[in-house]
Structure 1
Amino acid sequence: MGDYKTKLPRDPEQPRSHGISYQEMLDEEVVPVPDALRSNTNTFLGSADLPVERYISQEFHDLEVNKMWNRTWQMVCRETEIPNVGDHVVYDIATWSIFVTRTETGEVKGYHNSCLHRGRQLKDENGQSDDIRCPFHGFSWNLDGSFKGSPCPWDFEHLSKEDLQLPEVRVDFWAGWVFINMDADAPSLEEYMGPEMRSHFERWSLENTFKALHVSRIIGCNWKVGFEAFIESWHSLDTHPQIVPYTADSNSQYDIYGENTSRTITAMGVPSPHTRNVTEQEVMDALAATSGRMAADEPVHQVPDGMSAREFMAEINYKEFSALAGVDLSEFATRSEVLDAILYSVFPNFAPWAGFNPNIVYRFRPNGDDPNTALMEVMLLMRFPEGTERPADVPCIELRPEQPWTDCEELGALGDVFEQDMKNVPFVQKGMRQSKKGAVSLGNYQEVRIRHLHQTIDKYVYGD
C-alpha cells in the first residue's frame, strides 16, 4: 500500500491535513507538470463568521440583484449553440432577462429582453428567427438591434429610430463560451477573469469540445448554498461516503486568484486521510463501482503488482480519453489531468472543470426573485478527434423540482452524488432560518473559496 501521509513540515500558523499534498502527488508524475498545476496560493482570508441573512433575507437578495448581477460577467451559452444567423439564447438571472443572438454579419450581440413599446419580453425561449419581433403589437427590429418597423408607424412619429434602437449589453467570449455584462463601465472579460483562467486553460482547449449533456433543476436553497456545496471537498466523508476510499478530500488544494477566480484540486485514486489501511485494490474496487469512470458490467480490474490504484486508473483513462480526443494523451498529459477533479470558478456563478477528462461545468442562479430557491445546472463537455465534424450540442434536460437527479440516466454515477447533495442543501437553507447563532463559521483553509465568494460579493453590494 502506498504512503499517503504528507512529508511536508507542519506550519502551526497554517494548519493542513496530514494527508499527502497535491503538490507531493505531482512530484510522482512521469511527464512534465504544467505550471498551471504547480501554482499553489495558500491564501488566508480571515476567520470571521458570515451572517445567515446573506442567504435567507429578501433584502440581501435585492442588493445582489441591483448591485451585483447587473455588473458582473456571466456565461450565457456555448458559441456553437448559436451557429446560424437569427439563432438566439435567453438568459434569465434573478429579475433580469437578456438574450443573445447572431446577427446578419455573424456578430453575436446581446439585448435587454424588453420591447421598447410596452415592455413585453421579446424572446420567451431559445430558438431562431429572421428578426426580433414583439408578440404583443408587432414592433420589430433587425438582428443588429436597429428598428425595423411597427404596424402603425403614423402613431409614433414622436419617436425617432434612435429612440427605438434596442439597448445592448456587452458580449465577450472565452473558451467557446458566450458571456454578457449589463454594465458598460465594467472591466473587460479578460481583465475580470485575471491571467490565470486564460493561461491555464490554453493547455486544455475547451474550445475543441461539444456540449454532450445539459441538465437543470430548481433546488430548495439559496444559489450560494448550492454553489458552496461544490467548491469545497471535505463534505465527502459524511455526504458521499462511497467515494471516500478513492478521494483525497480533506487534503485537497484550494487556490485564490484575484477577486473573481478560484480553484479546488481534489485528487482521485488516493484514499481520504480519514480512512485507515485501505488497500490499493480496495481503492480500485470503489473507483470501479461508484465513480462512473467504468461501465457497470465491466469485470473487476485487478491492480498489477507494484502499481498504485492511481497509476492503474490513469492508464485506463489515458486509453479511454485518448480515443475520444484522437490523440495519445499519455505522451504529454499528467495523471492528474485524466483523473482529478480540477474545478475552477469565475465569479459569481460559473464553474468549469479543467483537464483532459470530460469537463463538467456547473452554474447556479437565483430562481427568479426568491432567495430560498435556485436553479442548478450541470453540463458535460466532451472532446472529439481533430479533423472530424463537431457533434451538435444537446438541448437542456429540465427536471421538475421534485424529480431526483438520478432520473437523468445520462448523468450516470453523478446523479447519485448530486442526489446526496440534495439531502443537505434544502436543510441547510431551513436550518439557517432557525439559527440561534445567526451566523455560519467557515474553515480557514478548506472553505476559503466560500469566504472568497462572499468577499467579492461585498465589493459589489457594499462597495459604493
Structure 2
Amino acid sequence: MNKPREQQIFVQPPETAGDPLKFQQLLAQETVPVPAYLQSSPPQFGDEDLDVARYTSHAFHRLEAEKMWPKAWQFVARAEEIPNAGDHVVYDIVDSSVILMRGDDGGIRGFHNSCLHRGRTLRTQSGTAGQLKCPFHGFTWDIQGRFKSKPCSWDFKHLDDRPLDLPQVRVESWAGFVFINFDAQAQPLLDYLGVLPEHFRSYLMDRATTLAHVQRRIACNWKVAQEAFFEAMHTKVTHPGIMTFTGDVDSQYDVFGDIIARAITPMGVVSPNLGGVDDTTTLNDILALSGRMSETDGSRHRLPEGVTARQYVGELNRQAYAAAAGADLSQATLAELEDAILYSVFPNFQVWAGYFGNIVYRVIPDGDDTDHCLFDVYILGRHPQGSACPPAAPLNRLGDDEPFTAAPEIGALGPVFEEDMRNLPHMMRGMRASQRGKVSLASYQESRIRHHHLTLDKFLGLGGAK
C-alpha cells in the first residue's frame, strides 16, 4: 500500500502561479508521436468588460430566443437514448418544443411539438409511442410524421387539400450526438463543427455509449452555468481538494474559429498553487478524487522507482481503456489518456476529448426564465468493436434541491459538480446587486468566455461583447 511520506504541503503565493506553456512542456516529454491538434492555438482578444445585463436582462434573453437559438445547431440527445422505433426525446428551448423521434425506417427526425389542429403539444415527456396522437381531439400522425387521421372528417373538408404531415426541423448527427437546427438554410452540422471531428478522429467515438446522464435545474442564467466550465482558475478556491493532481492555472486555452474553443488542464501533476506534495499523494488523490480515471483505489498501487504519478496513471488508463474498447492504444499520449481536454461548441455543448470517460455538458434555458437553466451531464464509455451499442443509461432527473452527490452513477464527480453549483445562484444575485454593472475577465484564462460572447454577438447582430 502506498503511504505518503510526512509532508508539509503549503500554498504558494497566488500572484505568480501559473504557466500557460506548461502543457506544451509536458507534451515534449511524451514517448509517442504527439498529434498536431494538441499544439497551442491561442486566442487574440481584447480586455473589455462585459455588461451584467447579458446575464440578468430578460430583454437580452428574448433577443437570444429570437435570433440565436433558431439559428444555432443544438445537441439534443445521444442516438442510443432512442434506439428503437417510436423512442423519442422531447426538447424544449425557450418558446420552441421538438419531438426527436426514431422512425420505423431507423431514421431520426425532429418534429415541431404542436398539433396542426389547435396547437396542443403532442408529447409532454420523453418515452416511446406507436403514433403521435393529440391528447385534446385526437388528430394523429405516424412516428415518421405522416398524417393518419382526424376526428369528424366531414367537418374538416377544407383541410383535404392541405399538407398535414408534421413540420420538421433539421436533424444531423456526429459521433452519436444528435443535433437539431430550426434554420432550413443553416450550414451542415459537420461544417459547423469545424475542427472537432478531426480532433476526435482517433477516440473511437463510433463505439461511444452513455454510461450516465444526470440533469438538474440550476438557479442561474444558462450562460453562467455554461461558463463555470470554461476555465480552471477557480480550482484553488472552489475545488481545493483536487489541487494535488490538477495543473489548474497551468491550463492551455485555444480557439478555432467562432464555434469551437478548448481548454486543456494537465492532470497527474501538482497545482502550481501548492508546494510540498509528493508523487505518492498525487497518485492516491487522482485515482480517488478525479472521477475520470480507470481505477478509484490508490491504495492498490505503488509507484515504481523513477515513474511519476502522471506516467503511472496514464499507463493504467491505457491498459483499461484498450481492454474496454477492444482497441490498440499504444500510440495514445498521456495527455489523451488522462488530461482534462474540454471542447466547447457554441452555444451550449461541451465534450471532453479522450478514449474513455468523456464528460459531456449541456446547458439550456428553463423556458422563458432568465434566472434558471437545465444542466445536463453525460458520461460516455465505449463498447467493444463488433458488439451492438447498449441502450443509454436512463436519465436521472434530480430535484431542484438535490445535490449532485445524490447521483451515485457519476461517482467522485458529484462532489466536484456540487462545489461548482454552489457558486452559481450567488453569481446571479451578485450581478443583479452590482453597482458597477460590469464583469471583468482575465485576458488569457477566461478567453473562452469572451470568445463565447463575441460569437453570441454575431448571431444577435450586435457590434461586440459589451
- Does the alignment reach a TM-score above 0.5? yes
The answer to whether structure 1 residue 348 and structure 2 residue 350 are counterparts is no
CA contact (8 A) 2:100 2:109 kept: yes
Cα distance in 2, alignment partners of residues 162 and 86 from structure 1: 26
The answer to whether structure 1 residue 43 and structure 2 residue 24 are counterparts is no
Cα distance in 2, alignment partners of residues 191 and 226 from structure 1: 27
CA contact (8 A) 2:80 2:389 kept: no
The answer to whether structure 1 residue 105 and structure 2 residue 100 are counterparts is no
CA contact (8 A) 2:362 2:376 kept: yes
Question: Equivalent residue for 1:403?
Answer: 402
Letter of the aligned partner of 1:338 in structure 2? L
CA contact (8 A) 1:146 1:161 kept: no
Question: Equivalent residue for 1:383?
Answer: 382
Cα distance in 2, alignment partners of residues 18 and 82 from structure 1: 44
Any residues of structure 2 matched to 1:347-366 within 5 Å, and which? 347-366=346-365
In structure 2, runs of 5+ residues without a counterpart are: 1-15
Question: Equivalent residue for 2:4?
Answer: none
Cα distance in 1, alignment partners of residues 109 and 74 from structure 2: 14
Q: Alpha-carbon deviation of 1:144?
A: 3.0
Q: Alpha-carbon deviation of 1:111?
A: 1.1
Question: Equivalent residue for 1:138?
Answer: 138
CA contact (8 A) 1:288 1:300 kept: no
In percent, how many aligned pairs have the same letter? 47
Any residues of structure 2 matched to 1:174-323 within 5 Å, and which? 174-194=174-194, 196-292=195-291, 293=293, 299=299, 301-323=301-323
Query: Runs of 4 or more off by more than 6 Å in structure 1?
Result: none
Question: Equivalent residue for 1:415?
Answer: 414
The answer to whether structure 1 residue 155 and structure 2 residue 161 are counterparts is no
Please state whether the residue corresponding to 2:249 is helix, strand or coil.
coil
Question: Equivalent residue for 1:10?
Answer: none
The answer to whether structure 1 residue 23 and structure 2 residue 24 are counterparts is yes
Please state whether the residue corresponding to 1:361 is helix, strand or coil.
strand
In the superposition, relative to structure 1, how do residues 20 and 313 fare at CA in structure 2: closer, same or farther (>3 Å)? farther
Q: Alpha-carbon deviation of 1:393?
A: 0.8
The answer to whether structure 1 residue 123 and structure 2 residue 115 are counterparts is no
Which region of structure 1 is more displaced relative to structure 2, 378-387 or 142-151?
Answer: 142-151
Cα distance in 2, alignment partners of residues 192 and 296 from structure 1: 37
Letter of the aligned partner of 1:427 in structure 2? H
Question: Equivalent residue for 1:170?
Answer: 170
Cα distance in 2, alignment partners of residues 146 and 95 from structure 1: 24
Question: Equivalent residue for 1:11?
Answer: none
Letter of the aligned partner of 1:48 in structure 2? E
Q: Alpha-carbon deviation of 1:87?
A: 1.9
Cα distance in 2, alignment partners of residues 34 and 136 from structure 1: 56
Which region of structure 1 is more displaced relative to structure 2, 70-79 or 19-28?
Answer: 19-28
Q: Alpha-carbon deviation of 1:402?
A: 0.3
Which region of structure 1 is more displaced relative to structure 2, 309-318 or 50-59?
Answer: 309-318
Letter of the aligned partner of 1:118 in structure 2? R
Cα distance in 1, alignment partners of residues 388 and 197 from structure 2: 26
Cα distance in 2, alignment partners of residues 368 and 209 from structure 1: 30
Letter of the aligned partner of 2:460 in structure 1? V
Q: Alpha-carbon deviation of 1:455?
A: 0.9
Q: Alpha-carbon deviation of 1:327?
A: 2.6
In the superposition, relative to structure 1, how do residues 175 and 19 fare at CA in structure 2: closer, same or farther (>3 Å)? closer
Q: Alpha-carbon deviation of 1:388?
A: 2.9
In the superposition, relative to structure 1, how do residues 288 and 128 fare at CA in structure 2: closer, same or farther (>3 Å)? closer
1:289-341 per-residue CA deviation (whole Å, 9 max, x = no partner) reads 32233665552633222111111111221222222112342x11111111011
In the superposition, relative to structure 1, how do residues 294 and 88 fare at CA in structure 2: closer, same or farther (>3 Å)? closer
Cα distance in 2, alignment partners of residues 161 and 141 from structure 1: 17
Letter of the aligned partner of 1:364 in structure 2? V
In structure 1, runs of 5+ residues without a counterpart are: 1-14
CA contact (8 A) 1:139 1:149 kept: yes
Please state whether the residue corresponding to 1:269 is helix, strand or coil.
coil
Please state whether the residue corresponding to 1:245 is helix, strand or coil.
coil
Cα distance in 2, alignment partners of residues 200 and 260 from structure 1: 14
Please state whether the residue corresponding to 1:250 is helix, strand or coil.
helix
1:254-275 per-residue CA deviation (whole Å, 9 max, x = no partner) reads 1111111111111100111222
Question: Equivalent residue for 1:61?
Answer: 61
Letter of the aligned partner of 2:238 in structure 1? T
Q: CA RMSD in A?
A: 1.8
Please state whether the residue corresponding to 1:420 is helix, strand or coil.
helix
Matched pairs, number: 447
Cα distance in 2, alignment partners of residues 155 and 280 from structure 1: 79
Q: Alpha-carbon deviation of 1:75?
A: 0.9
Cα distance in 1, alignment partners of residues 358 and 341 from structure 2: 9
Letter of the aligned partner of 2:212 in structure 1? L
CA contact (8 A) 1:32 1:332 kept: yes
Any residues of structure 2 matched to 1:447-462 within 5 Å, and which? 447-462=446-461
CA contact (8 A) 1:86 1:130 kept: yes
Please state whether the residue corresponding to 1:305 is helix, strand or coil.
coil
CA contact (8 A) 2:294 2:321 kept: no
In the superposition, relative to structure 1, how do residues 113 and 161 fare at CA in structure 2: closer, same or farther (>3 Å)? farther
Question: Equivalent residue for 2:13?
Answer: none
Question: Equivalent residue for 1:370?
Answer: 369
In the superposition, relative to structure 1, how do residues 428 and 328 fare at CA in structure 2: closer, same or farther (>3 Å)? same
In the superposition, relative to structure 1, how do residues 161 and 415 fare at CA in structure 2: closer, same or farther (>3 Å)? farther
Q: Alpha-carbon deviation of 1:192?
A: 1.4
1:102-158 per-residue CA deviation (whole Å, 9 max, x = no partner) reads 223322211110001110001111222222211110001233323211011111111
Cα distance in 2, alignment partners of residues 296 and 82 from structure 1: 31
Cα distance in 2, alignment partners of residues 274 and 266 from structure 1: 14
Which region of structure 1 is more displaced relative to structure 2, 145-154 or 108-117?
Answer: 145-154
Letter of the aligned partner of 2:134 in structure 1? C
In the superposition, relative to structure 1, how do residues 60 and 140 fare at CA in structure 2: closer, same or farther (>3 Å)? same
Which region of structure 1 is more displaced relative to structure 2, 135-144 or 16-25?
Answer: 16-25
In the superposition, relative to structure 1, how do residues 161 and 400 fare at CA in structure 2: closer, same or farther (>3 Å)? farther
Cα distance in 2, alignment partners of residues 302 and 147 from structure 1: 65
Cα distance in 2, alignment partners of residues 449 and 78 from structure 1: 25
Cα distance in 2, alignment partners of residues 394 and 207 from structure 1: 17
Q: Alpha-carbon deviation of 1:276?
A: 2.1
Cα distance in 1, alignment partners of residues 32 and 249 from structure 2: 26
In the superposition, relative to structure 1, how do residues 298 and 285 fare at CA in structure 2: closer, same or farther (>3 Å)? closer
Cα distance in 2, alignment partners of residues 463 and 184 from structure 1: 23
